[in-house]
């Protein structure tokens, strides 16, 4: 059996449809556990107080923003090498979600920055690269929705996969020192 057959949307969609209810159940379960741990079980931060709880949505949102970008790049490479129809479709399907998580990361970051750093926005490398990431998503969406030809996603795939090192380099290095220090009573 070859996995290549799933690169055809007509074969992939029935499988995806069968998996959706299972993933929905998993998502709801993890959602409830995550919210309980973040809002109820986790103790207050001794420096920041309650406001640090934004971390439980800010960081996953920022992670998803980058992760979806990488997954789109992966599909871009697959679209280029195998010229499969599903790869380009997956890129198109992921872009709005990626844009949403990037916007969410910026929004929650601003709301966390104000009470902890005293400002909603600063032009530091991490924030600026996240803003550029949002523009990349919006630019991709604008092109894909405007130009409905098959060759466009392929050409975009090439740009997308080649821009990954740029985004990763500007993001991962400042990330290590960026997040406001979290200390919890229990750890002291």
- Residue ranges that bind another protein, judged by CB under 8 A: 9-10, 13, 49-51, 53-54, 57-58, 61, 89, 93, 96-97, 100-101, 103-104, 107-108, 111-112, 114-115
Cβ-based nearer residue to another protein, 29 or 166 = 29
Judged by beta carbon, residue 115 or residue 164, the one nearer another protein is: 115
Tokens 């991962």 belong to 172
Please give the span between the terminal C-alpha atoms of the chain, in angstroms, as a whole number.
55
Largest CA distance in the chain: 59
Alpha helices in the chain (DSSP H): 9-36, 55-82, 85-117, 125-146, 151-178
| Distance in Å, CB of 57 to another protein, minimum | 5
Q: How far is the CB of 162 from another protein (least distance, A)?
A: 26
Instruction: Output 121 or 168, the one with its CB closest to another protein.
Output: 121
What is the spatial distance between Cα 151 and Cα 63, in angstroms, rounded to a whole number? 30
Q: How far is the CB of 134 from another protein (least distance, A)?
A: 14
Q: CB nearer to another protein: give 97 or 170.
A: 97
Task: Count Cβ neighbours within 10 Å for each residue of 96-121 and write b for 16 or more, e otherwise.
Answer: bebbbbbbbbbebbeebbeebeeeee
Supply the minimum distance, in Å, between the C-beta of residue 10 and another protein. 6
CA distance 143 to 139: 6
Q: Residue 167 and residue 181: Cα distance in Å, rounded?
A: 24
Closest distance between another protein and the C-beta of residue 155, in Å? Answer: 19
Q: Which is nearer to another protein, 51 or 70 (CB)?
A: 51
């Amino acid at each position: 059996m070859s996995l290549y057959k799933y690169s055809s949307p007509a074969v992939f969609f029935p499988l995806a449809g069968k998996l959706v209810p299972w993933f929905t159940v998993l998502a709801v379960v993890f959602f409830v556990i995550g919210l309980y741990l973040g809002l109820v079980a986790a103790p207050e931060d001794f420096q920041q107080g309650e406001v640090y709880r934004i971390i439980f949505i800010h960081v996953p949102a920022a992670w998803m923003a980058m992760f979806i970008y990488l997954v789109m790049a992966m599909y871009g490479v697959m679209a280029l090498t195998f010229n499969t129809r599903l790869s380009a479709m997956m890129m198109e399907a992921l872009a709005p979600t990626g844009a949403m998580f990037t916007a969410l990361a910026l929004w929650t970051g601003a709301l966390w920055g104000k009470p902890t750093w005293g400002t909603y926005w600063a032009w530091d490398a991490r924030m600026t690269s996240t803003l550029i990431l949002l523009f990349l998503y919006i630019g991709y969406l604008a092109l894909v929705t405007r130009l409905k030809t098959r060759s466009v996603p392929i050409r975009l795939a090439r740009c997308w996969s080649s821009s990954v090192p740029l985004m990763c380099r500007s993001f991962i290095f400042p990330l290590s020192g960026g997040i406001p220090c979290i200390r919890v009573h229990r750890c002291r």
